[in-house]
């Protein structure tokens, strides 16, 4: 059971470089999310997608773009990486979480921007 | 907007009970969740409670909900070293229930 798969697991970038974090889920979920986790700040929502073809900003969208390519895949792009984007990134998916449905998380991507 | 707060650290002796607390601001939340994050891993759903309940028990876990005070707690009985992790409470954002707002997380350390 793959669940939510995200790549890469580790990445070091130089300031100004670009990269894309890939995420795929095999549970046929409508909703997908990208969070970042920083010490003492919990998880903060970057972008989410309620269904294929739709995306919406979360709490901290600046410096990021997303693409919901199809129902399975939801990618996060950093166009010009900055040291403030050093973080652990989690992709997640769910059916309607307001109905008690589980949000499933990937294992995380550790990104360092130097 | 929604605000969810937790204390950052909790240290308990093995075999004791642990109580992790969470306060939130939005009273319209339907389900409230507890997630567990082990080192180097993503978050996993631990348990949840529906907002019309006061208490939910699941083996060693007890969730208490005080809607009047907007206070949620997670009690772990007979805490084991394997319970050492970060615990997050999460509530749906009031105006968009498709999104969860997470607390800062409480790091539970269990010592022998």
pLDDT digits (tens, 9 = 90+) for B85-106: 999 999 877 665 667 889 999 9
What's the order of all strands across the beta sheet hosting A19-25?
A4-7, A19-25, A74-78, A64-68
What is the predicted pLDDT for the residue at B108? 97
Which residue ranges in chain A fall short of pLDDT 50? none
What is the predicted pLDDT for the residue at A23? 97
Residue B107 — pLDDT band, cuts 50, 70, 90?
Answer: very high
What is the predicted pLDDT for the residue at B25? 87
Residue B64 — pLDDT band, cuts 50, 70, 90?
Answer: very high
Q: Do A107 and B48 touch (CB under 8 A)?
A: no
> B27 vs chain A: nearest CA distance in angstroms?
13
What is the predicted pLDDT for the residue at B93? 73
What is the predicted pLDDT for the residue at B27? 64
Q: Which of A6, A92, A98 to mutate to test the interface with B (most CBs of B within 10 A)?
A: A98
Per-chain mean pLDDT for chain A: 92
CB contacts < 8 A, A to B, total 67
How many CB atoms neighbour CB B81 within 10 A?
A: 10
What is the predicted pLDDT for the residue at B92? 79
* DSSP string computed for A11-53: EEE-TT--EEEEEEESS--SEEEEEEEETTTEEEEEEEESSTT
Task: Closest CB to A58: pick one of B33, B44, B99.
Answer: B99
**Chain B residues near residue A96 by CB distance under 8 angstroms:** 97-98
Asked if residue B29 has pLDDT above 70, the reply is no
Q: Do A43 and B43 touch (CB under 8 A)?
A: yes
What is the predicted pLDDT for the residue at A111? 97
Tell me which residue has tokens 């240290």: B11
What is the predicted pLDDT for the residue at A56? 93
Please state, in angstroms and as integers, the Cα–Cα distance from residue A100 to each residue in A114, B19, B37, B51, B109, following that order: 40, 22, 19, 11, 28
């Amino acid at each position: 059971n793959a669940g939510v798969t995200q790549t890469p697991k580790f990445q070091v970038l130089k300031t100004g470089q670009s990269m894309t974090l890939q995420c795929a889920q095999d549970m046929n979920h409508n909703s997908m999310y990208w969070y970042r986790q920083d010490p003492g700040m919990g998880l903060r929502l970057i972008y989410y997608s309620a269904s294929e073809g739709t995306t919406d900003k979360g709490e901290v969208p600046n410096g990021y773009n997303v693409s919901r390519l199809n129902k399975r895949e939801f990618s996060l792009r950093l166009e010009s990486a900055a040291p403030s984007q050093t973080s652990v990134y989690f992709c997640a998916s769910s059916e309607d979480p307001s109905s008690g449905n589980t949000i499933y998380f990937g294992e995380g991507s550790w990104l360092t921007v130097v | 907007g929604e605000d969810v707060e937790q204390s950052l650290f909790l240290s308990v002796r093995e075999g004791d009970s642990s109580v992790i607390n969470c306060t939130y601001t939005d009273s319209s939340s339907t389900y409230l969740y507890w997630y567990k994050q082990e080192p180097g891993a993503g978050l996993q759903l631990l348990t949840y409670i529906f907002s019309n309940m006061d208490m939910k028990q699941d083996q060693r876990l007890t969730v208490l909900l005080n809607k009047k005070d907007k206070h949620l707690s997670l009690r772990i009985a007979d805490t084991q070293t394997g319970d050492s992790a970060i615990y997050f409470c999460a509530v749906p954002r009031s105006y968009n229930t498709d999104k969860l707002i997470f607390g800062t997380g409480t790091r539970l350390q269990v010592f022998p």
